[in-house]
Structure 1
Amino acid sequence: MGLIQGFLTMMFGNGRNFVRETVEVFTENAEAGAQRAHDVQGQAMQQFGAEFAVPRQGVFDRVMDGVNRLPRPAMALGTLGLFVAAMVDPIWFAARMQGVALVPEPLWWLLGVIVSFYFGARHQLKTQTFQRDIATTMARVPQVVQNIGALQKLRADSPGVADPGPDASLNIAVLSPEENPALRDWKEARQA
């Protein structure tokens, strides 16, 4: 009995827990980790609150606060504007997107870094050669020019856009009217 009691005293006696202390060498104590996270969050909130404790009295301070609030709504409204533009004039939108296709990849990276840092995200930049990206972009220029030309020919105000060409059967189909039940019903309703 004395041997077991001596062993248990060695393991758990004197206010110590040998097993717990050994395990904590390899894994974090969840309660202590939560307390540390709580302390860090509390300090961050205090620091954040201290930033706004100073009253903004000058015109410059108020203008800069307003400018700092613009990017998020501007990006959101701009994105919605792109959707509206795509629905209102798809050919105009497609022509602009062809121009966006010419933006070199390093510039997209730079934009991504700026936006990421602005919104507080962490961004890791991949290393690729600048010359290869410029060459790839330049190789796309003839295709983009051809696509813009094809899109311009599709505009409703382009001359000959509705011309059926030399196909006689298509000419006859275009010139002969079809029965339109909705139009017939409308005409009958107006005459009644």
Structure 2
Amino acid sequence: MGLIERVLTVVFGGQNNVVRDTVEVFRENAEAGAQRSAGVQGQAMTQYGAEFLVPRRGGFDRFMDGLNRLPRPALALGTLGLFVSAMVEPLWFAERMQGIALVPEPLWWLLGVIVSFYFGARHQVKAQDFQREIVSSVSRVPEVLRNIGEIRALRSDSVAVADTAPDAALLAGTTEPTGNAALDAWQQSRR
């Protein structure tokens, strides 16, 4: 009996459990892993909490922090506003976009430099493209003015906006009632 007891004590009992030690080579001890995970999570929460402990600052500092948080939401909401205005008032939107087409390329580059500087990016431009885009913008002025005139002529309050002109077939087509298959079928079912 002493021999079996000694073998079982070596394998399962005492300070060194051979089976446990062998299994832990291939599989993590769940209890020890949970303790390590709790320690890591506690340290992370302590670090995150320390980031939000800000010393009291004056009114000017709080105002400037608020002001620095405005550009990104303003750009995002302004872009969404442009989409909404394009759907709600397309003629108004088209007139504004024609006006934007007149903005010379150097001003767009300047705006890009300002915005990219604000957001910490670098902006580079090439001298040949700079001159070419200025000439291109200026050459589009007559076309833009013509487009604005055509857009304004499309307004619903313009005189004779729906005029059929000398097209007799179109005029006849606008004055004759057209058939409605669903209405005809409903009227047949009621008879």
**Which range, TM-score by smaller chain?**
0.5 to 0.7
Q: Does 1:160 pair with 2:190?
A: no
Q: Does 1:126 pair with 2:126?
A: yes
Q: Identity of counterpart residues, as a percentage?
A: 65
Q: 1:139, CA displacement in angstroms?
A: 1.5
Q: 1-side partners of 2:75 and 2:129: how far apart?
A: 29
Q: 1-side partners of 2:84 and 2:169: how far apart?
A: 38
Structure 2 segments unaligned to the other structure (5+ residues):
1-49
Bigger Cα Rg: 2
Structure 1 segments unaligned to the other structure (5+ residues):
1-48
User: 1:70 corresponds to which letter in structure 2?
Assistant: L
Residue-by-residue CA offset, 1:135-192 (whole Å, 9 max, x unaligned)? 332211111000000011111121111111111111100111112345x38x97xx9x
Contact 1:164 1:170 in 2 (8 A): yes
Residue-by-residue CA offset, 1:19-50 (whole Å, 9 max, x unaligned)? xxxxxxxxxxxxxxxxxxxxxxxxxxxxxx99
Q: 1:122, CA displacement in angstroms?
A: 2.1
Q: 1-side partners of 2:55 and 2:106: how far apart?
A: 41
TM-score by length of 2: 0.63
Q: What does 1:42-191 align with in structure 2 at a 5 Å threshold? A: 55=55, 57-128=57-128, 132-181=132-181, 184=183
Alignment correspondent of 2:47: none
Contact 1:56 1:62 in 2 (8 A): no
Contact 1:95 1:151 in 2 (8 A): yes
Q: 1:116, CA displacement in angstroms?
A: 1.0
Q: 1-side partners of 2:94 and 2:142: how far apart?
A: 16
Q: 1:130, CA displacement in angstroms?
A: 5.9
Q: 1:58, CA displacement in angstroms?
A: 2.0
Q: Secondary structure at the match of 1:162?
A: coil
Residue-by-residue CA offset, 1:108-146 (whole Å, 9 max, x unaligned)? 111111111111222222223766544332211111000
Q: 2-side partners of 1:113 and 1:131: how far apart?
A: 17
Q: 2-side partners of 1:73 and 1:89: how far apart?
A: 23
Cα RMSD (Å) = 2.6
Q: Which runs of 4+ in 1 moved over 3 A?
A: 52-56, 128-135
Q: 1-side partners of 2:99 and 2:53: how far apart?
A: 46
User: 1:88 corresponds to which letter in structure 2?
Assistant: V
**Shift in CA distance, 119/56, structure 1 to aligned 2, threshold 3 Å:** farther
User: 2:141 corresponds to which letter in structure 1?
Assistant: V
TM-score by length of 1: 0.63
Alignment correspondent of 1:18: none
